[in-house]
Amino acid sequence: MAAPAEAQSLTTQEKTAITRALGAYTQGIRAGKIAIDTTIVNNDSLKIFLNSALQDIPIRQDNANAIVSTIRSFLPANLSKKKLQVLIDGQDIFSLIPNFYRTKAERRPAFHNTVTTPLVTRADRPYTPHNGLDGKHIAMWQSHGKYFELGVNRWEWQRARLFESVEDKFTQSFVLPYLIPMLENAGAYVMTPRERDTNPYEVIVDNDGQKAKSPYTEQNGVNTWQQGEGTGFAYARATYQNFENPFTEGTYRQTTTVRKASQASTITWTPQILQERSYAVYVSYKTVEGSTTDAHYTVCHKGVETHFTVNQTMGGGTWVYLGTFNFGMGKGNYVKLTNVSRTDGKIVTADAVRFGGGMGNIARAASGDSTYLYTKGNTRSLGGLPRNEYQPSFTVKPMTSGYPRFLEGARYYMQWAGIPDSVYSPTQGRNDYTDDYRNRGIWVNYIAGGSKACPDVKGLNIPVALSFAFHSDAGTVKGDSIIGNLGIYQTSMYGGRFADGTSRDANRDLCDLVQSSITHDLRTQVEPKWTRRGMWNQRYFEAWTPRVPAMLLELMSHENFADMRYGLDPRFAFITSRAIYKGILRFLSSEYAYDYVVQPLPVNHFSALFNKKNQVELSWAPVADSLEATAMPDHYIVYKRIGNGDFDNGTVVKKNSYTCTIPTDVVVSFKVTALNKGGESFPSEVLSVGINSKTTARPVLVINGFDRLSAPDDFVSADDAEAGFLADNDNGVSYQQLISYVGKMKEFRRAIPWTHDDAAGFGDSYGNYEGKIIAGNTFDYPALHGSSILNAGYSFCSIGRSALNTFEGKLPQALKPLTGEACQSAFSAIDLILGKQKQSKFGRPGLHPLSFKTFDETMQNFLTAYCKAGGAVFVSGSYVGTDLWQNPLNYPATNPYAEYFKKNEKADKDFARNILKYQWREDRASNTGRVVYVASPLSEKNTAVRYYNVPNDKSYVVESPDAIDPADPSAYTIMRYPENNMSAGICFGGNATDRWRTCVLAFPFESVRLRKQRDNMMKQILTYLVEK
């Protein structure tokens, strides 16, 4: 019989010594202090219960063993021989080791929510990522969003505007452009309770018509379309109020499937597109008894067809996302559904199709008969109190937010998507603030209702594998200190079990793997001092409500300047999102028992040149991932676009080259992705070519030298009393588009405290751009330049700037002409695109080498050799002078780059003066967005040209163009800024010793607003460079 447990077994001194020793295991983690709660001694065993601070630490076999050994080393002699068990919250320390790090025999049973047929399958996707996330359904969302606050009768953000952003928008800049595409490229189907399309335009096509005006047509084969039983979608009104459900106000159509295409019945939805741009495509249908598992949809976008199958046994009665495509204003845009199936006699249903994200259309209002006590997030009506003459009743008209739908909270998108009001408004319309964070976990259970995860819930039957909430946190510190990442999970709810009986400890596994992946990658590639915070096992609604593996991530502090110097940088967003994707991949691979492979990084060294047969020869190089050995590609996909169309569905190739014949007199564009068993990489830059059939002249070589992605310019005063971002100088360069921007920062004094979200203190920013999308670097400028080159009478081809660097010590065969005289004989001229290229830092100054120099050593050597061989060069960019003469990073109070700039200054200036024949005069030379031609050898006209100088959705903004002067007696000013007559461009036609020609513009050619003006400008420049 065992001896009774002793109440106290360790002295205070012994506990203190153990606590002090255990502190070593929290190094590198901002965690609580590990201490002993209680001990239990039996005749043959000792149990030591540690406090919950140990849960902040990622537990692996080695540190678990070390912790046990450390504790044992401090035990008195009478206890040191007993069997020792260390527990936290009732669990053995070794149970905190994630399944991923256990042997197969040691793994706990894992949660599985598998399905034979996914909700959506892209039928013509040329690969299946079996070692990625193929067939996994992931629920994911980002932060909050605009919500209606009853207490003040207005729409507002859930957080304050800080550092040019607001949390409601900030985390979207990770999730939408990076994290979701990475998961989808790995094969996952990602569902969001917030609108994912940033396009503010929307077109609805529906059989019920009403406000859906675009053409809807049916074609009947053997089995005719009929009205289905029950309700469907109807676009009955412009705005919707509380509890109005558009998916219960209309009808839907149905027929039975056939196997023969000759017997097909089809429905076609043809959107009347008024704005040419990308549109997300959502279909809707009804799930009924006998629904088909392979409803075939065809999306035709600018004449390119992409095919999908949808499993209609799940997801009925809401918007089901197919993909995002470019649509034009002409013909060739539609969605078509056919009843042809692998199995006949099944039911296929059809309802509305939606194109684009649109504007918010849920109207809300406070009651004019009530008064409210306003405390944000806890507003309550005081309407029961007696009124007096100073509290008159009044009528309040319901109002929409006036913002694009993707900026609104989940509550409003769910209503538009037909989700029951019991899901989207747990408070039944009384508190939108709490509705918006409570409803997301409930939504996960609703869409998973009927699947293995929630068999007792009536829902959409979607087999959700995982739920992920992405937020940023609060907290401020001075200097370069980082607040860092915090993970939140919950294990004890629902009896600590999922519906299949497996342990909710999987939530901790997920949290641990994601947190560890983020910390490792950021400390390795970004910031060695990056702070890892704890892993909290707490009842946060978004973490405990989902009945699938779930976590909530607080990535960093949106209130802390040091965090946001990274947070606003697209490079940081890519690295962080890739780390999260890898953490999710590792978790799901261990849960579903397969070997994972990480999708490759994007390729580089890309070129698109003509061979001797006038074919296009593409060449590129893979990029190794130093953090992940599995991420090497084994195939590639080449995508092609003809003219102003959309890219095709790709051609898979084995080698890192591709040759094809192209049509003449049209711009043809290409992009390349890398492929392996884990999925597809992000795309390369877009390169373009064009053959002008009316000329025998040598082609123009376009070099895309604008590959910059960076945060806005920033500063810190010498005494650290002031700091901030300088949008007027340079607001950075985003990838594709900037969706986190609210307006310029206006409060730079660190000492100013937050008093209200409308008076946010240090970091406070304007809100005049918060409802707008701002264009970034599209990496697609050779097509724009090339179009003007074709119109000027020349053919053209293109390369990326990285192609000038040799790969593995050798130049690809296609790039052999890019050397000295060979290059001069192969091309009539070179058009170098520099855009907003300039040397830029990454995070805190001095930590990383500067990137994105306009004319690095390789570029200088290449252009020097080409010019001295008699070439002709056209260069345009905002910082062609400043980057070489007076880069702002060369002049802070403490300059970690002083030696670097000093080393290169003379060579840089000599290159500009002696080869390209210009010299810097002034930065920030103009803010009006206008230049005018002046009399010169280039042109005798006095024409004005406008370029994009304010944030907009068409082209990146040129905030600070240079002024440059001629640096040779044979060089001339060709354009000036009219507000001050500073020189905006020069041309050089050669002299007695320098027999080459150049034209340099201090503003980017592609930023010129009107195509006609670009075409005229290019024709004049090429005529001067080549023909005069």
Q: Which helix (H) or strand (E) holds 511?
A: helix 505-525
Mean pLDDT within 846-867 = 95
Question: d(Cα 758, Cα 755) in Å, to the nearest integer?
Answer: 8
Q: Are 549 and 465 in contact (CB under 8 A)?
A: yes
Q: Is the pLDDT of residue 907 over 50?
A: yes
| pLDDT more than 90, % of the chain | 88
Residue found under tokens 């932060």: 143
241: Cβ–Cβ under 8 A, 6 or more apart, which residues? 362, 363, 364, 398
pLDDT of residue 503: 97
Query: Residue 793: exposed, middle, or buried by beta-carbon count in 10 A (0-12, 13-18, 19+)?
Result: middle
Kindly report, residue by residue over 480-492, the tens digit of the pLDDT: 899 999 999 999 9
Alpha-carbon distance 432 to 409, whole Å? 9
pLDDT of residue 638: 99
More confident residue, 826 or 515: 515
- Which of 915, 952, 937, 929 is CA-nearest to residue 1003? 929
Residue 773 CA neighbour count, 13 Å, CB half: 24
Q: 115 versus 976: which is more confidently predicted? A: 976
- CA–CA separation, 594 and 841 (whole Å): 40
Is 90 exceeded by the pLDDT of residue 891?
A: no
Enumerate residues 6+ apart whose C-beta is below 8 A from 191.
137, 138, 139, 140, 321, 447, 462, 464
Return the pLDDT at 9.
78
Sheet harboring 550-557: ordered strands across?
A: 29-30, 532-537, 485-489, 550-557, 464-473, 137-142, 189-191
For position 7, what pLDDT does the model report? 43
Tell me the pLDDT band of 380, cut-offs 50, 70 and 90: low
Poorest-pLDDT segment among 114-128, 389-403, 704-718, 939-953: 389-403
User: What pLDDT band is residue 373 in, cutting at 50, 70 and 90?
Assistant: low
For residue 885, give the 3-state DSSP assignment.
helix
- Residues 692-715 have a mean pLDDT of 97
Classify burial at 453, counting beta carbons within 10 Å of its beta carbon; exposed 0-12, middle 13-18, buried 19 or more: buried
Q: Which two tokens stand for residue 445?
A: 């259970």
Cα angle 206, 209, 212; round to 5: 70
Distance between CA atoms of 9 and 45, rounded to whole angstroms?
Answer: 12
Assigned token pair, 135: 């067939």
Which H, E and C letters describe 962-1003, residue by residue?
A: CEEEECCCCEEEEEEECCCCEEEEEEECCCCCCCCEEEEECC
Give the Cα separation of 579 and 183 in Å (integer): 11
Predicted pLDDT of residue 6: 46
> Do the Cβ atoms of 998 and 873 come closer than 8 Å?
yes
Residue 856 has what DSSP assignment? -
Instruction: Please work out, in degrees rounded to the nearest 5, the angle formed at the alpha carbon of residue 1019 by the alpha carbons of 793 and 1016.
Output: 125
Task: Work out the burial of residue 278: count CB atoms within 10 Å of its CB; fewer than 13 is exposed, 13-18 middle, 19 or more buried.
Answer: middle
Nearest to 341 by CA among 406, 257, 407: 257
pLDDT of residue 774 exceeding 70: yes
Burial 587-613 (b: 16+ CB within 10 A, else e): bbbbbbeeebbbbbbbbbbbbbbbeee
Q: Identify residue 294 by its one-letter amino acid code.
A: D
- Encoded tokens for 254: 């149905």
Does the pLDDT value for residue 999 go beyond 70?
A: yes
Q: How far is CA 585 from CA 466, 554, 829, in A?
A: 11, 19, 47
What's the N-to-C CA distance of the chain in angstroms? 107
**Span 969-982, average pLDDT:** 97
Task: State pLDDT tens for residues 196-250.
Answer: 999 999 999 999 989 989 999 999 999 999 999 999 999 999 999 999 999 999 9
d(CA 440, CA 430): 17
Model pLDDT, residue 73: 94
Are 897 and 850 in contact, with CB atoms under 8 Å apart? Answer: yes
Q: For residue 471, how many other CB atoms are within 10 A of its CB?
A: 23
Instruction: Report the amino acid identity of residue 195.
Output: E
The pLDDT of residue 1027: 84
Q: What is the pLDDT of residues 419-474, one digit of tens each?
A: 999 999 999 999 999 999 999 999 999 999 999 999 999 999 999 999 999 999 99
Q: Where are the alpha helices (DSSP H) in 328-466?
A: 410-416, 421-424, 432-447
Q: Which domains does the chain have, with CATH numbers?
A: 12-97 (3.30.300), 120-196+406-591 (3.40.630.40), 203-355 (2.60.120.260), 692-709+777-1027 (3.40.50.880)
Q: Which residues pair with 191 in a beta bridge?
A: 139
- Percent of the chain beyond pLDDT 70? 96
Three-class SS state of 7? coil
334, 317 contact by CB (below 8 A): no
pLDDT value of position 2: 42
Among candidates 838, 718, 729, 712, which has minimal Cα distance to 763? 712
CA–CA dist 755, 233 (Å, integer)? 45
Report the distance separating Cα 826 and Cα 818, nearest Å: 8
Q: Dump pLDDT digits (tens) for 607-616.
A: 999 988 889 9
So what's the pLDDT on residue 890? 85
Structure tokens given for 806: 């040799």
Put residue 790 in one of left, alpha, beta given phi > 0 → left and psi -120 to 50 → alpha: alpha
Per DSSP bridges, beta strands 829-835 and 982-988 are unpaired
Burial degree of 446 (CB within 10 A; 0-12, 13-18, 19+): buried
The pLDDT of residue 181 is 99
Count other C-beta atoms under 10 Å from residue 117's C-beta: 15
Alpha-carbon distance 454 to 462, whole Å? 10
Average pLDDT (923-950) is 94
Cα separation values, 200 from 278, 356, 402, 771, Å = 11, 7, 10, 10
CA atoms in the 13 A half-sphere facing the CB of 551: 25
φ/ψ (deg, to 5) at 929: 75, 30
